[in-house]
Amino acid sequence: MQSETRTTCPYCGVGCGVIATVEEDGRVGVRGDPDHPANRGRLCSKGTALGQTLGREGRALQPEIDGRPAGWGEALDTVAARLRQVMATHGPDAVAFYVSGQLLTEDYYVANKLMKGFIGSGNIDTNSRLCMSSAVAGHKRAFGEDAVPCSYEDLEQADLVVLAGTNLAWCHPVLFQRLQAARRARPGLGVVVIDPRRTETAAAADLHLALRPGSDAWLFNGLLDHLRREDCLDLAFLERHAEGFAGALAAARASAPSLPEVAAACGLDEAEVATFYRWFARTGRTVTLFSQGINQSSSGTDKVNSIINCHLATGRIGRPGCGPFSITGQPNAMGGREVGGLANQLAGHMELDDAVARERVMRFWQAANPARGPGLKAVDLFRAVESGRVRAVWIMATNPAVTLPDADRVRAALRRCELVIVSDCERHTETTACAHILLPAAAWGEKEGTVTNSERRISRQRAFLDPPGEARPDWWIVAQVGARLGHAAAFDYRSPAEVFREHAALSAFENGGERLFDLGALQHLGEAEYAALEPVQWPVPASAPGGTARLFGEGRFPTATGRARLVAVRPRPPVHRPDGAAPLVLNTGRVRDHWHTLTRTARAPRLTGHSPEPYVQIHPRDAAAAGVEEGGLARLRSCWGTALLRVSVSPEQRPGAVFAPMHWSAPYASAGRVDALVNPVTDPISGQPEFKHTPVRVEPWVPAWQAFVLARERSAEMEAAYRVVVPGDGYVRYELAGSEPVADWTAHVRAWLGGGGEWMEFEDQGAGHYRGALIRAGRLEACLFVSRDGRLPPRTWLAGLMALECLDEESYRGLLTGRPGAGQADAGPVVCACHGVGRETILAAVRGQGLDSVDAIGTVLRAGTQCGSCRPALQALLESEGVRRRAG
């Protein structure tokens, strides 16, 4: 019999509800939950492929101590003993935890309590520091508390949506679909995108401001002054509910005194800046949604406040269709903020440097060893590991050896660290490779708890599978260590519901309404009520058990005066600027179908086809100057590291800037760790690193040969200077390039792929070509194409042959040419991941059948009809064929 479980997607901060169905044979199907308010049944390409990402392969299944398997009892005893030893010798600040927005709120709460209340240090920070800590700091400066005012519905109720530093179509696809649906229903809803790149989000906008990287604060400061000049201020709101306007305005006028000066600072046309300002000024219902493009900056906090200032000055906050709206990258970045996962926070939205709050929380916890003040933020924390100030680090559910800026240095620091404990569901990451003690954690679908999405909505994650091997939930692992450190009573949790009740009770403890974060109505949930908890937006105080959709509607803010604060923002350029040695600015980010360091999404073959290789996108002018070509390989160098990436030449990239995704790590790419290049400068207030602005040099890398391989099995032998592994459906694809010529490809290939079976081969040594195919019992086992000049056949048709049990005659004939025979076609690179529809198939249908809309493509090819993530790409293909834009 099938069983169905309502749970929440583990990827981005949209926080979509999903229904997981476990079939009798153990297969898991996933569909959108029509009753979840975040998505109403929609899912993006990543969400719909969740069922393909489950299974034991690659999982950490058993505790390990110094590389040998161990039982839980021994592993937990060893963790406690070694931590105690470090604390006894070097004090509590020699210990640190580095946690993750992938953790559930209950996991996070217990880890934070152990560090700040019982180990006695503030040294717990989270990878959410890397994606949204500037928004946290900006909220606290403006509102007095880290509180997102808006709901997703505000995007649909607005008349103007400004998307600043966010590629919503790729990074928060379901929210983008909601916005597009609202535009189709109400064509008057305008969209402005502020982003140096012409992303799919920008292509769908009414106005795209491709501003100079790092210049956002000049743009919003100029807007603030424009609003004053045009008499668009809400003077009553400013008078009754805000303070600091005069200082904010003076700073704005000093930095952005006129439209021409703003346009010059931002590298924009005056006319387009004027259009943006006019639209903002005249549109009462305006939402400004912002994300990593604003936050990941050495002045990210100021940029956030420059946005909030404009909303406060116009009173556009706390009302339907209005507000500054920070959207988070991770599924539970918000939950982590609520329990104090950042080194400067306490649980329940209280501050570690507030002595009264500290005393209150420690009294509530009956803390044995209270932290005395804030701990180390992420970048500083790993610097302290490097210097030996931190001697023991426990990393939970994250991969900092890949994702921190200056990542090679972080990896080296971990390799030298006295004690590295890693709890993770993945066995083979660059961080688990540094672990002295590895603790297998339960993964999505195997554990119970809650997450909070970007609109403050708390949803349940529910288990529908048993954890494999010895894997256990993180809250349990941390509580067991807490007990072994001598604090059994404080960590005597029997269920995640018990942890949640304590978290909710602390939020309401001595809270007379001065702290917005209040889950008082949820503090007595029984086990069954917790199990059945419906999505709810905090605050959920005892007086409002149904939750709160929108904040600040009454104009009261949790500051000392009850007023919101406008902040004087004095824009400053990024710390490191391009020069002759590194003339281009590197911007890093995500691609549509991948997540973090590929540990989950690379398991779903249908997600690997859209962006199969790590790449650098570069403007044609810069490509010509650097001597790199479309499809070639480039070496990127910065002061901090290097990477080897495939070149994508595109006018969508702003001249002077390049973009590279952050996902690839050593198991999938030999030299694609882009964060190794990124400068480790941080915002002085938030501690967030400047991932969007690293000066780099781009150089051509001309290999002696390039190749690709399709093989049924992964081969450890297949080493090359450039090596990318692309998991497919029943096969693995390798993209390879080497710097040394290979004298005998026949021998080389046998060493890589083994012998046996029938080999078909063709070699032209003069031209530098080799092609080989291994066939067993009529089935294609492997094929390999090598070329000196990099010209290789398309992969899609050949990959399709790997799915055949027996090659037909036509396929045999075309095999070594790499080209489809008569009546066969190469589908081209994947556009629609859900239905596996390729670019060439779509273009052929558009041309051959006169398709003129995304819906028409869907009717004929099904592309874009399931999750909808590819609809912007379909629109772009139509436009490339001369079809005019409609809201897709």
Tell me if 11 contacts ligand SF4 by CB under 6 A.
Answer: yes
DSSP state letters, 282-332:
H-SSEEEEE-HHHHSSTTHHHHHHHHHHHHHHTT-SSSTT-EEEE--SSTT
DSSP state letters, 495-563:
SHHHHHHHHHHHHHTT-SSSSS---GGGTT--HHHHHTPPPEESP--TT-TT--SSS-TTS--SSSSSS
Near ligand SF4 by CB under 6 A: residue from 51, 101, 120, 173: 173
d(CA 792, CA 816): 11
Tokens of 188: 């008057």
Tell me if 222 sits within 8 A of 232, measured CB to CB.
Answer: no
Tokens of 117: 């209340």
Least CB distance to ligand SF4 at residue 868 (A):
10
Least CB distance to ligand SF4 at residue 866 (A):
12
Q: Which residue has the tokens 């059945």?
A: 532
- Whichever of 16 and 463 has its CB closer to ligand SF4, that residue is 16
Interface stretch with ligand SF4, choices 6-14, 188-196, 391-399, 750-758 (CB under 6 A): 6-14
- Whichever of 44 and 685 has its CB closer to ligand SF4, that residue is 44
Q: Which residue has the tokens 């509590």?
A: 92
Q: What is the SS3 assignment for 749-778?
A: HHHHHCCCCEEEEEEECCCCEEEEEEEECC
Cβ contacts of 855 within 8 Å, gap of 6 or more: none
Least CB distance to ligand SF4 at residue 17 (A):
9
- Whichever of 457 and 619 has its CB closer to ligand SF4, that residue is 457
Burial class, 546, CB count within 10 angstroms (exposed 0-12 / middle 13-18 / buried 19+): exposed
d(CA 148, CA 550): 9
Calculate the dihedral angle through the C-alpha atoms of 482, 485, 489, 490, rounding to the nearest 10 degrees: -40
Tell me if 111 contacts ligand SF4 by CB under 6 A.
Answer: no
Least CB distance to ligand SF4 at residue 436 (A):
34
Calculate the dihedral angle through the C-alpha atoms of 346, 350, 355, 359, rounding to the nearest 10 degrees: -70
- Whichever of 11 and 152 has its CB closer to ligand SF4, that residue is 11
Near ligand SF4 by CB under 6 A: residue from 6, 7, 15, 752: 15
Tell me if 170 contacts ligand SF4 by CB under 6 A.
Answer: no
- Whichever of 152 and 530 has its CB closer to ligand SF4, that residue is 152
Nearest to 472 by CA among 3, 53, 73, 15: 73
| Range list of H helices, 580-632 | 605-608, 620-626
∠ Cα 41 47 49 (to 5°): 120
- Whichever of 172 and 391 has its CB closer to ligand SF4, that residue is 172
Interface stretch with ligand SF4, choices 38-46, 110-118, 294-302, 486-494 (CB under 6 A): 38-46
Closest-CB residue for ligand SF4?
A: 47
Interface stretch with ligand SF4, choices 10-18, 200-208, 671-679, 719-727 (CB under 6 A): 10-18
Largest CA distance in the chain: 83
Least CB distance to ligand SF4 at residue 259 (A):
37
Least CB distance to ligand SF4 at residue 14 (A):
4
Least CB distance to ligand SF4 at residue 445 (A):
14
Q: Binding string, 275-304, against ligand SF4, x = CB under 6 A?
A: ------------------------------
Tell me if 172 contacts ligand SF4 by CB under 6 A.
Answer: yes
Least CB distance to ligand SF4 at residue 18 (A):
7
- Whichever of 173 and 321 has its CB closer to ligand SF4, that residue is 173
Near ligand SF4 by CB under 6 A: residue from 174, 242, 322, 414: 174
Site for ligand SF4 in 533-572 (CB under 6 A): none
- Whichever of 9 and 273 has its CB closer to ligand SF4, that residue is 9
d(CA 778, CA 806): 5
Task: Work out the number of other CB atoms within 10 angstroms of the CB of residue 556.
Answer: 15
- Whichever of 535 and 818 has its CB closer to ligand SF4, that residue is 535
Tell me if 802 sits within 8 A of 731, measured CB to CB.
Answer: yes
d(CA 387, CA 381): 10
Tell me if 43 contacts ligand SF4 by CB under 6 A.
Answer: yes
Total residues interacting with ligand SF4, rule: CB under 6 A: 14
Least CB distance to ligand SF4 at residue 13 (A):
7
Identify the three-state secondary structure at position 406.
Answer: coil
- Whichever of 174 and 437 has its CB closer to ligand SF4, that residue is 174
Q: Give kind and range of the element (H or E) at residue 880.
A: helix 871-880
d(CA 658, CA 305): 27
Tell me if 679 sits within 8 A of 766, measured CB to CB.
Answer: no
Tell me if 9 contacts ligand SF4 by CB under 6 A.
Answer: yes
Near ligand SF4 by CB under 6 A: residue from 19, 30, 44, 379: 44
Interface stretch with ligand SF4, choices 12-20, 527-535, 557-565, 874-882 (CB under 6 A): 12-20
- Whichever of 458 and 718 has its CB closer to ligand SF4, that residue is 458
Least CB distance to ligand SF4 at residue 44 (A):
3
d(CA 84, CA 569): 45
- Whichever of 79 and 155 has its CB closer to ligand SF4, that residue is 155
Tell me if 14 contacts ligand SF4 by CB under 6 A.
Answer: yes
Tell me if 591 contacts ligand SF4 by CB under 6 A.
Answer: no
- Whichever of 419 and 874 has its CB closer to ligand SF4, that residue is 874
Near ligand SF4 by CB under 6 A: residue from 16, 114, 281, 410: 16
Tell me if 846 contacts ligand SF4 by CB under 6 A.
Answer: no
Interface stretch with ligand SF4, choices 37-45, 87-95, 677-685, 827-835 (CB under 6 A): 37-45
Tell me if 768 contacts ligand SF4 by CB under 6 A.
Answer: no
Tell me if 46 contacts ligand SF4 by CB under 6 A.
Answer: yes
- Whichever of 383 and 460 has its CB closer to ligand SF4, that residue is 460
Q: What is the SS3 assignment for 357-384?
A: HHHHHHHHHCCCCCCCCCCCCHHHHHHH
Tokens of 723: 């090596």
Least CB distance to ligand SF4 at residue 11 (A):
3
Tell me if 334 contacts ligand SF4 by CB under 6 A.
Answer: no
Least CB distance to ligand SF4 at residue 606 (A):
14
d(CA 351, CA 344): 7
Least CB distance to ligand SF4 at residue 328 (A):
11
d(CA 702, CA 570): 45
Site for ligand SF4 in 412-431 (CB under 6 A): none
Tell me if 626 contacts ligand SF4 by CB under 6 A.
Answer: no
Tell me if 442 contacts ligand SF4 by CB under 6 A.
Answer: no
Identify the three-state secondary structure at position 615.
Answer: strand
d(CA 710, CA 606): 16
Near ligand SF4 by CB under 6 A: residue from 30, 37, 47, 589: 47
Tell me if 12 contacts ligand SF4 by CB under 6 A.
Answer: yes
d(CA 52, CA 758): 33
* Residue 513 β-bridge partners: none
Query: Which positions lie near ligand SF4, rule CB under 6 A?
Result: 9, 11-12, 14-16, 39, 43-44, 46-47, 172-174
